[in-house]
Amino acid sequence: MNERLPRECELLIVGAGPAGMAAACAAADHGISVVVIDDNPAPGGQIWRGGPRVNLPPRARALRERFERLPGLRLCSATRVIDAPTPRRLLVEREHDAGVIDYHRLLLCTGARERLLPFPGWTLPGVTGAGGLQALIKGGLTVRGERIAIAGSGPLLLACAATVRAQRGRLVALAEQAPWSELASFTMELWRWPAKLAQAIALASPRYRAASRLIEALGERRLEAVVIESLGERREIACDRLACGFGLVANTELAQLLGCALGERGISVDQHQATSVAGVYAAGECTGPGGSELALIEGRIAGLAAADQYPLAAALSRRRARWQAFAAQLEQHFALDSSRLPPRRATTLVCRCEEVTLGELETHSDWRRAKLASRCGMGACQGRVCAAATAQLFGWPPPPPRPPLSPARIDSLLLGGMKEVQE
């Protein structure tokens, strides 16, 4: 039987990735009672996700071990937030129960998700995100001997390729859309972060091709081949899987529901990682994707600030600035170039849940009109995939979230006193 959900705490942290674990350790060290809720079965987030095929780095193992032994910490795994019914209160749900948790301070470490862009054939079985394929492999998927193509932009492509090679998959294409000039500029800056330079060298692959564009995925019932354009030449490459990476999108739905202001890349925070809402902090990828090093530092600063340890938090500001500079380099050199995105077709599905095509959306001027006319974004994912896609394709601002944040049971919603349910 599951342990009962806590009813209150001094610091409630949403997310048990690197930022959430670092924050919990920093706050608990100063006597704060901490509750961490996470929708995964174990702490670590997406980057340090456990599984039968996972060999976590020493730093991740050390932090997880410390986190799991913290006195005064309560971890609620497989628990998701579905609403914020009143100030300083969250409604959460698990498989068999739900509850309301009152908090004095709240820290959002909600991470980021992959940006999936539609292109011809992207809904074929065998096509996933680059991070999604890594998660499947960590979860036990066998790719030994399979022909795998990887395309898109950013270092995640190289990390995915390394995972494939480690599991004896056959890498048949590794297509990066950024030109060689951008890659060279980025590499020239890596001396400022020696560990990242060493990592880049370790992940290098002879299959890596810059200035390459994914055109389409081909197949009848599942993926059979991809078409990739490089230096003006299009090649059809037979493969069993295609992993795409078009960058990350910060998870800001809960922050928006609480009324937190957003910046260009995620939740807006000050030097103490405090949001625009009193008592609410944010750290890690939800404030702007930047990697695990930045998430760890931001998490520690946020945990210390939530425990009123401001001088200790301020002492970490230079380290945070160093990794923020690295994140800025990534954003600059791996920015998506619209001229190198997969070509559009009117028949390509954008909203998989409601089967809405690109052609249906092109007749509208903004997300709201498109949603009302086509049901785009009204399916199971609640627009988490197609809203980010339309933001990239049409420049439509992402829609504000409405409770519940994810599909929930009626008895769970009644605990939060949702007006719509009561009526």
Tell me the average pLDDT across 141-168: 95
Predicted pLDDT at 423 = 41
Give per-residue pLDDT as tens, 277-290: 999 999 999 999 99
Q: Which helix (H) or strand (E) holds 390?
A: helix 386-394
Predicted pLDDT at 174 = 97
The structural domains of the chain, ordered by start, are 8-111+251-308 (3.50.50.60), 114-248 (3.50.50.60), 349-394 (no CATH)
CA geometry: angle at 390 spanning 369 and 343, to 5°? 125
Q: How far is CA 124 from the centre of its chain?
A: 22
Q: How far apart are CA 409 and CA 397, in angstroms?
A: 29
Give per-residue pLDDT as tens, 157-190: 999 999 999 999 999 999 999 999 999 999 999 9
CB 12 within 8 A of CB 277: no
Centre a 10 Å sphere on the Cβ of residue 269 and count the other Cβ atoms it contains. Answer: 26
Give per-residue pLDDT as tens, 43-75: 998 888 877 767 788 889 999 999 988 888 999
Q: Which residue has the tokens 């913290």?
A: 70
Predicted pLDDT at 54 = 74
Give per-residue pLDDT as tens, 350-370: 999 999 999 999 999 999 899
- The one-letter amino acid code at 258 reads L
Q: How far apart are CA 103 and CA 9, in angstroms?
A: 5
Q: Which residue has the tokens 């066998």?
A: 142
Give per-residue pLDDT as tens, 255-279: 999 999 999 999 999 999 999 999 9
Q: How far apart are CA 399 and CA 262, in angstroms?
A: 13
Phi/psi of residue 380, each to 5°? -60, -35
Predicted pLDDT at 2 = 62
Centre a 10 Å sphere on the Cβ of residue 299 and count the other Cβ atoms it contains. Answer: 30
Q: Strand pairing partners for 170?
A: 147
CB 330 within 8 A of CB 155: yes
Percentage, residues of the chain above pLDDT 70: 97
